[in-house]
Chain A
Amino acid sequence: AQRVTQPEKLLSVFKGAPVELKCNYSYSGSPELFWYVQYSRQRLQLLLRHISRESIKGFTADLNKGETSFHLKKPFAQEEDSAMYYCALKSGSGNTGKLIFGQGTTLQVKP
């Protein structure tokens, strides 16, 4: 079964502390993974995806096939990083672009 698990509903850190939002997936084959973010009063939007191997707003995410994980990391959290973060897996059933989302993690960065 294809599944995405984000074990933490809420992650609270102080400004300047490192952040790691966990994402584990279940998928047979080569997964395509994404992180989407929803800031307060804004739309859900793409943060980054593993095929691009990019760093956006200081965030990086590395695909670890051995551990079936795609954790999102940032070395020094900022208050403006406070948001809801969703990990998503592209469904392998057909060329439909369907995404399977995790439950989401709320990141709270305290001053």
Chain B
Amino acid sequence: NAGVTQTPKFRILKIGQSMTLQCTQDMNHNYMYWYRQDPGMGLKLIYYSVGAGITDKGEVPNGYNVSRSTTEDFPLRLELAAPSQTSVYFCASSYSASGGDNIQYFGAGTRLSVL
């Protein structure tokens, strides 16, 4: 049971380059989330999705885009990488938004450096 899988684990980008961070889950979870983790800042929500075809902005969406064409996949796109996007990115999923099943399960993270 793989859970939430993120690729790549590490990446170095040059300013202005673009890339897609992949996230896939095999738990049939409806809800998926992208966070960034900066030192001393905790996790900030970038985008989220409550189901296939539905996405919405989180707290820090600028410079990112997402899509959710299937229940399993929730890729995060950086179009024009900037040094401010240097961070560790986490994808998470949950079965429900409330009640006993609203536990979020996290991927191992992608460490991104923009130079």
A residues with a Cβ closer than 8 A to B are 4, 6, 9, 32, 36, 43-46, 49, 51, 86, 90, 95-104
Query: B12 near A: Cβ within 8 Å?
Result: no
In contact, B90 and A101 (Cβ under 8 angstroms): no
In contact, A103 and B104 (Cβ under 8 angstroms): no
Closest Cβ neighbor of B92 among chain A residues? A44
For A49, the chain B residues whose CB sits under 8 A away are: 103
**Contact of B104 (CB < 8 Å), options: A6, A46, A51, A100:** A46
Q: Given A96-B48, A97-B33, 20 more contacts at CB 8 Å?
A: A4-B42, A36-B104, A43-B107, A43-B108, A44-B43, A44-B92, A46-B104, A95-B98, A97-B50, A97-B97, A97-B98, A98-B33, A98-B48, A99-B45, A101-B42, A101-B43, A101-B44, A102-B42, A103-B41, A104-B42
Closest Cβ neighbor of B33 among chain A residues? A98
For B43, the chain A residues whose CB sits under 8 A away are: 44, 86, 99, 101
How big is chain B's contact interface, by range? 20 to 34
For A98, the chain B residues whose CB sits under 8 A away are: 33, 45, 48, 58
For B104, the chain A residues whose CB sits under 8 A away are: 36, 46, 97, 99
In contact, A103 and B42 (Cβ under 8 angstroms): yes
For B74, the chain A residues whose CB sits under 8 A away are: none
